[in-house]
Amino acid sequence: MTGAEGAAEPAVRTRGLTKRFRSGQVGVDGIDLLVPRGAAYGFLGPNGSGKTTTIRMLLGLVAPTAGTVELLGAPMPARGRSVLPRVGALVEGPAFHPYLHGRANLERLDAADATADPGTRAARVAAALDRVGLAAAADKRYRQYSLGMKQRLGLAATLLRPRDLLLLDEPTNGLDPQGTREVRALVRELAAAGTTVLVSSHLLSEIEQVCSHVGIMSRGRLLAQGAPEEIADAATTQVRVAVRPDQRDHLARVLAGLGLADVRSDGGALVAPLGDVAVEKIAQAVVGDGIDLLGLEVRRPTLEDVFVRLTGEGFDVAR
CATH number of domain containing 274: 3.30.70.980
**Does 314 fall in a domain?**
no
Span 214-242, pLDDT tens digits: 999 999 999 999 998 888 766 678 899 99
Instruction: Check whether 183 has a pLDDT greater than 50.
Output: yes
Residues 82-101, mean pLDDT to the nearest whole number: 89
Asked if 94 and 157 count as a contact pair (C-beta separation under 8 A), the reply is: yes
Domain boundary (184, 203, 232) is at: 232
Domain enclosing residue 273, as ranges = 236-300
pLDDT at 175 over 90: no
Same domain membership, residue 226 and residue 161 = yes
* pLDDT class of 142 with cuts at 50, 70, 90: very high
User: Are both 225 and 125 inside the same structural domain?
Assistant: yes
| 310 lies in some domain | no
Structure confidence by residue, pLDDT tens digits, 148-172: 888 889 999 999 998 999 999 988 8
Mean pLDDT of the chain: 88
- 82 and 29 share one domain: yes
Q: Which pLDDT band holds residue 207 (cuts at 50, 70, 90)?
A: confident
Q: Assess whether pLDDT exceeds 90 at residue 208.
A: no
195 touches 5 (CB < 8 A): no
Residue % of the chain over a pLDDT of 70: 94
Kindly compute the dihedral angle of the four CA atoms of residues 56, 59, 62, 67, in this order, to the nearest 10 degrees: 100
Q: How many residues does the chain have?
A: 319
Taking the CB of residue 159, how many other CB atoms lie within 10 A of it?
20
Where b means 16+ CB within 10 Å and e means fewer, 236-269 reads bebbbbbbeeebbeebbebbeebebeebeeeeeb
Q: What is the mean pLDDT of residues 62-90?
A: 94
- pLDDT value, residue 269: 92
Q: At what angle do helices 147-158 and 121-131 cross, to 10 degrees?
A: 130
Alpha carbons 67 and 59: distance in angstroms, whole number: 14
Indicate if the pLDDT at residue 1 is higher than 70.
no
Which of 173-177, 213-217, 275-279 shows the highest mean pLDDT?
A: 213-217
